[in-house]
């Protein structure tokens, strides 16, 4: 190592922890708020997996034992309490990616570009690329560390009610599905990248907040549309009296003819055209994902979302390059860090 490159390497080595400390200090209120929200949700989910689920299960046991020939006494409050707090916790987990996107757009990049703090940092031996890399990496670790245990606790809370609580949500309920698995973490990371991109595009806090939420809404919608097609489906048939077979995420349903052909269900029961279609049918068919496809769908959907997140991160660096131009070495001989 030459005498010229030695100070450069030392400056870069010293700059990394300094940048990390600066990001944590600058966004300390958000860090405290995130930690507080994670702790509160964890406490609620632990309660749902334990005493709240047990009380609700006992209430349903009492209700199912009623013969309704006289007064029926059961713990309705416990049943409703579990249902309400489960919905609150599920909604909170599903909203987290949108909160992350809004914060990333408004505070992480938008406000710093709007106030000139970012450009000031770029003149203090910090390259724009490293500035952005640290601002994405540090919050990404915090987001992953917060959402990972939460979706696991939510899955425990949901599983605690299976077979015991009559009103427990199905595994394929759209809000339960995402709150129950790693798609929560993947969506939160996508929200971080989407918000950062919005801040770089608008360079103003409020518009970036709105655009970040719009971006993550698009990612959520894309994942929801593609999810049923990311894993091979199962097709089952049943007679006309039995109705549609199977239970899960439905991809396609219809009628089965005597030749085995599939027809769309007319969804009617009275007019002549309806009778003509039903006369050709011998049963119903369903193409769907059963419960055994839960984890394959979770993992493939998470992979898809993370791939989109990678594209958003790449877009962030391309937009930053357009704003700042190629990185060059400072004329003083001090390298950007």
Contact between 131 and 23 (Cβ < 8 Å)? no
126 in Cβ contact with 336 (< 8 Å) = yes
The span from the CA of 128 to the CA of 326, in Å, is 9
DSSP 158-224: HHHTTTT-TTPPPTT-HHHHHHTSTHHHHHHHHHHHHHHHHHHHH-SHHHHHHHHHHHHHHHHHHHH
The token pair that represents 60 in the structure block: 């349903």
pLDDT tens digit string along 37-80?
A: 999 999 999 999 999 999 999 998 888 888 766 677 888 899 99
For residue 307, the model assigns a pLDDT of 97
Q: What is the pLDDT of residue 201?
A: 92
DSSP assignment letter at 240 = T
* Cα–Cα distance measured from residue 303 to residue 18, given in angstroms and rounded to the nearest whole number: 33
CB burial of residue 42 (10 Å; 0-12, 13-18, 19+): middle
pLDDT top residue among 278 and 334? 278
- What local confidence, expressed as pLDDT, does residue 101 receive? 95
How far is the C-alpha of 42 from the C-alpha of 105, rounded, in Å?
A: 26
Tell me how long the chain is: 337
Confidence of residue 17 (pLDDT cuts 50, 70, 90): confident
Question: Is residue 223 over pLDDT 60?
Answer: yes
More confident residue, 216 or 333: 216
Locate 104 and state its tokens: 């990333």
Whether the predicted pLDDT of 333 surpasses 50: no
Query: CA torsion angle for 317, 321, 135, 29 (degrees, to 10)?
Result: -120
Q: What's the start-to-end Cα distance of the chain, in Å?
A: 18
Confidence (pTM): 0.86
Q: Answer yes or no: are the C-beta atoms of 126 and 226 closer than 8 Å.
A: no
């Amino acid at each position: 190592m030459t005498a010229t490159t030695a100070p450069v390497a030392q400056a870069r080595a010293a700059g990394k922890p300094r940048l990390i400390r600066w990001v944590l200090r600058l966004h300390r209120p958000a860090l405290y708020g995130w930690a507080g929200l994670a702790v509160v949700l964890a406490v609620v989910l632990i309660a749902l997996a334990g005493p709240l689920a047990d009380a609700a299960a006992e209430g349903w046991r009492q209700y199912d034992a009623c013969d309704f020939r006289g007064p029926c006494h059961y713990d309705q409050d416990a049943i409703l309490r579990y249902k309400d707090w489960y919905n609150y916790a599920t909604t909170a987990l599903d909203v987290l990616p949108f909160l992350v996107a809004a914060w990333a757009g408004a505070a992480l990049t938008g406000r710093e570009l709007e106030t000139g703090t970012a450009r000031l940092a770029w003149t203090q031996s910090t390259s724009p690329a490293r500035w952005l890399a640290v601002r994405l990496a540090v919050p990404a670790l915090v987001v992953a560390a917060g959402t990972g245990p939460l979706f696991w606790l939510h899955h425990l809370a949901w599983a605690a009610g299976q077979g015991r609580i009559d009103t427990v949500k199905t595994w394929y309920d759209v809000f339960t599905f995402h709150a129950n698995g790693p798609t929560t973490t993947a969506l939160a990371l996508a929200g971080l990248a989407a918000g950062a991109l919005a801040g770089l595009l608008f360079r103003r806090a409020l518009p970036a907040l709105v655009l970040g939420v719009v971006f993550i809404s698009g990612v959520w919608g894309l994942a929801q549309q593609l999810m049923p097609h990311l894993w091979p489906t199962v097709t089952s048939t049943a007679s006309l009296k039995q109705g549609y077979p199977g239970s899960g995420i439905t991809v396609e349903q219809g009628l089965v003819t005597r030749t085995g052909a599939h027809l769309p269900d007319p969804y009617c029961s009275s007019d002549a055209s309806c009778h003509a279609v039903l006369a050709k049918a011998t049963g119903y068919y369903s193409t769907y994902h059963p419960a055994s496809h839960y984890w394959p769908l979770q993992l493939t959907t998470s992979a898809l979302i993370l791939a989109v997140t990678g594209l958003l991160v790449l877009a962030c660096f391309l937009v930053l390059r357009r704003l700042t131009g190629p990185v060059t070495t400072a004329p003083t001989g001090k390298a950007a860090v």
